[in-house]
A and B are shown apart, each in its own frame.
Chain A
Amino acid sequence: MSKRITFAVLAGLLAVTLLPAGCRDSVSPERRAPEFAVAAASGIALDQQNGGLGPTASTVIKKGFNPTNPRLGSAIIATFFWLGSTDIIPAVTDHLADGTPVGNTYTLVASVTADNIAMATFVATNVQNFPEGTFPSGEKILVVEGTFSAPIVDGGILISSYTGVDPVFQRALGMQASASGFGTTPTVADPGAIPVNAGALAYGVTMANRVVGLTTPANFTTLNGGPMANTVLKTDGEFSVQASGSVDPQWTWFFDQDPRGGTWLASVLALNPAPTHLVFTVQPSNTTVGSTISPAVQVAAQDDAGNTVTGFTDDITIVLGTNPSGGTLSGTTTVGAVNGVATFSNLSIDKVGNGYTLVATATEPRGAISAPFNITPRPATHLVFSVQPSNAVAGSTISPAVQVAAQDDAGGTVADFGSQITIALGTNPGGGTLAGTTTVTPVNGVATFPNLSIDRAGNGYRLVANATGLTGATSALFNITPRPATHLVFTVQPSNAVAGSAISPAVKVAAQDDAGGTVASFGNPITITLGTNPGGGTLSGTTTVTPVNGVATFSNLSIDKAGNGYTLVASATALTSAASAPFNVTAPPQAQAQVSGGGRIDPAIGKTTFGFNVDGRSGPPFQGDMQVVYHGGTSAMTRIHSLVIDGVTSSPDPRGGVCITWTGSARINNSDQRRFTATACDNGQPGSGPKARTDRFGISVDGSINTGLTDMKGGNTQVRQ
Chain B
Amino acid sequence: MNRVTRVVVALSLVAGALHAQTPVSGQALGAAVRTPATNLQSGQVTLPSGGGFVSADVDALSALEVSVDALTTMTSGAMDTQASTAQSTAHLENVNVLNGLITAETVIAVTSSWVSGTAGWNAEGSSFTNLVVNGVPLGSGDYLPAPNTRVDLPGVGYVVLNEQVPSGASGITVNMIHIVLQDTLTGLTTGEIVVASASSSVGN
Which A residues lie at the B interface, using CB under 8 A? 594, 596-600, 607, 609-613, 624-627, 629, 631, 634, 636-637, 639, 641, 670, 685-691, 712-716, 718, 720
| Neighbouring A residues of B105 by C-beta, 8 Å | 634
Residues of B within 8 A of A689 (CB): 112, 122, 124-125
B106 touches A631 (CB 8 A): yes
Contact B91 A609, beta carbon cutoff 8 Å: yes
Q: Does B65 contact A (CB under 8 A)?
A: no
| Complex: A598 Cα to B82 Cα, angstroms | 19
Q: A714 is contacted by which of B76, B106, B114, B124 (Cβ under 8 Å)?
A: B124
Contact A598 B89 (CB under 8 A): yes
Note all chain B residues with C-beta closer than 8 A to A600: 89, 108, 110, 125
Q: Tell me the nearest residue of chain B to A694, going by C-beta.
A: B124
Q: Is the CB of B51 within 8 A of A596?
A: yes
Contact B112–A714 (Cβ < 8 Å)? yes
Is B183 at the interface (CB under 8 A from chain A)?
A: no
- Nearest first, the 5 A-B pairs at minimum CB distance are A714-B125, A689-B124, A686-B114, A611-B74, A613-B53
Contact A627 B55 (CB under 8 A): yes
Q: Which residues of B contact A688 (CB under 8 A)?
A: 112, 124
Which residues does chain A contribute within 8 Å of B89, judged by CB atoms? 598-600, 609-611, 715
**Of B55, B69, B125, the contact of A715 (CB 8 Å cutoff):** B125
* Cβ B72 vs Cβ A598 within 8 A: no
A629: contacting residue among B87, B91, B114, CB under 8 A? B91
Q: How far is the CB of A666 from chain B (nearest CB, A)?
A: 13
By a beta-carbon cutoff of 8 Å, the part of chain B in contact with chain A is 51-53, 55, 57, 69-70, 72, 74-78, 80, 82-83, 85, 87-89, 91, 93, 105-106, 108, 110, 112, 114, 116, 120-127, 129, 142
Given contacts A596-B53, A688-B112, A689-B124, contact A715 B78 (CB under 8 A): no
In the complex, chain A residues whose CB is within 8 Å of the CB of B85: 596-597, 686, 716, 718
Task: Let me know if A594 and B78 touch, CB within 8 A.
Answer: yes
Chain B residues, CB < 8 A from A611? 53, 55, 74-76, 87, 89
CB distance from B158 to the nearest CB of A (A): 26
14 new A-B contacts, CB < 8 A, other than A600-B110, A712-B125, are A596-B51, A596-B52, A596-B53, A598-B76, A599-B112, A611-B53, A611-B74, A613-B53, A686-B120, A689-B124, A713-B124, A715-B110, A716-B112, A720-B82
A714 with B78: CB separation less than 8 A: no
Task: Evaluate whether A687 and B112 lie within 8 angstroms (CB atoms) in the complex, with A611-B53, A627-B55, A718-B83 already known.
Answer: yes
14 A–B pairs (Cβ distance < 8 Å), ordered by A: A598-B89, A600-B89, A609-B74, A625-B53, A631-B106, A637-B72, A639-B72, A641-B57, A687-B114, A688-B112, A689-B112, A689-B125, A716-B112, A720-B78
Q: How far is the CB of B152 from chain A (nearest CB, A)?
A: 29
Residues of chain A with a CB closer than 8 A to B82's CB: 720
Q: Complex Cα distance A627/B74, Å?
A: 8
Residues of A within 8 A of B110 (CB): 599-600, 609, 713-715
Interface centre among B74, B106, B123 (most CB of A within 10 A): B74
**Which applies to chain A's interface (DSSP): helix, strand, loop or mixed?**
strand
Cβ contacts under 8 Å, A607 to chain B: 91, 106, 108, 127, 129, 142
CA A437 to CA B33, docked complex, whole Å:
94
* Distance between Cα atoms of A627 and B116 in the complex (Å): 25
B81 CB, nearest partner CB in chain A, Å? 9
CA–CA, A626 and B123, complex, Å:
21
> Separation in Å of the A229 CB from the closest CB of chain B?
158
Decide: B69 and A626 in contact? CB cutoff 8 A: no
Q: A637 to B91, Cβ gap below 8 A? A: yes
Expressed in whole angstroms, the minimum distance between the Cβ of B170 and any Cβ of chain A is 9
- CB contacts (< 8 Å) of B80 on chain A: these are 718, 720
With the chains together, A689 CA to B121 CA distance in Å?
11
Provide the residues of chain B in CB contact with A637, threshold 8 Å.
Answer: 69-70, 72, 91, 93
Instruction: Collect the chain B residues with CB atoms within 8 Å of residue A625's CB.
Output: 53, 55
Q: What residues of chain B lie closer than 8 Å to A624, measured between beta carbons?
A: 53
Chain B residues whose CB sits within 8 angstroms of the CB of A594 once the complex forms: 78
Establish whether residues A596 and B83, one from each chain, have CB atoms under 8 Å apart when the complex forms. Answer: no
Q: Are B78 and A613 in contact (CB under 8 A)?
A: yes
Checking A599, A613, A687 against B51 with a beta-carbon cut-off of 8 angstroms, the contacting residue is A613
**With A629-B91, A686-B112, A714-B122: A610-B74 Cβ-Cβ less than 8 Å:** yes
The reply to whether B93 and A636 form a contact with Cβ atoms under 8 Å apart is yes
Q: What is the distance, in angstroms, from A610's C-beta to the closest C-beta of chain B?
A: 7
Whether A598 pairs with B75 at a CB distance below 8 angstroms is yes
Instruction: For B71, give the chain A residue with the smallest CB separation.
Output: A637
Output the least CB separation between A652 and chain B (Å): 18
Bound-state CA distance A365–B172 (Å) is 132
Smallest beta-carbon distance A332→chain B, Å: 100
In angstroms, Cα B108 to Cα A714, docked, is 11
A631: B residues at CB distance < 8 A: 91, 93, 106
Listed residue (B57, B74, B76, B80) with the most chain A CB atoms within 10 angstroms of its CB: B76
How distant is B23 from chain A, measured CB to nearest CB, in Å? 14
**Complex: A634 Cα to B82 Cα, angstroms:** 42
Bound Cα distance from A637 to B69, whole angstroms: 9
Contacts of A687 in B (CB 8 A): 112, 114, 120-122, 124
A482 to B180, CA, bound (A): 75
How far does the Cβ of A274 sit from chain B's closest Cβ, in whole Å?
127
Q: Which of B78, B116, B123 lies at the interface centre, i.e. has the most chain A CB atoms within 10 A of its CB?
A: B78
Docked CA distance A691–B76 (Å): 21
- Docked complex Cα distance between A440 and B125 (Å): 76
The answer for the CA separation of A720 and B126 in the assembled complex, in Å, is 26
Report Cα–Cα, A720/B142, bound state, in Å.
Answer: 33
Bound form: Cα–Cα A613–B87 in Å: 11
Would you call A636 and B129 a contact (CB within 8 A)?
no
Given A637-B69, A687-B114, A718-B85: A612 and B76 interface contact (C-beta under 8 Å): yes
Contacts of B75 in A (CB 8 A): 598, 611
Complex CA gap A139/B179 in Å reads 172
Known: A609-B91, A714-B110, A720-B78. A691 touches B122 (CB 8 A): yes
- In whole angstroms, how far apart are the Cα atoms of A597 and B53 in the complex? 8
Q: How far is the CB of B95 from chain A (nearest CB, A)?
A: 12
Instruction: Name B26's closest neighbour in chain A (CB-CB).
Output: A598
How distant is the Cα of A599 from the Cα of B76 in the complex, in angstroms?
A: 9
Assembly CA distance A596 to B72 (angstroms): 18
Find the A residue at minimum CB distance from B82. Answer: A720
CB distance from B195 to the nearest CB of A (A): 15
- Chain A residue numbers with a CB within 8 Å of B74 are 598, 609-611, 627
Question: Inside 8 A of B53's CB, which chain A residues have their CB?
Answer: 596, 598, 611-613, 624-627
From B57, B110, B125, residue with most partner A Cβ within 10 Å? B125
Q: Which residues of A contact B142 (CB under 8 A)?
A: 607
A600–B90 alpha-carbon span in the complex (Å) = 10
A613 to B24, CA, bound (A): 14
B76 touches A597 (CB 8 A): yes
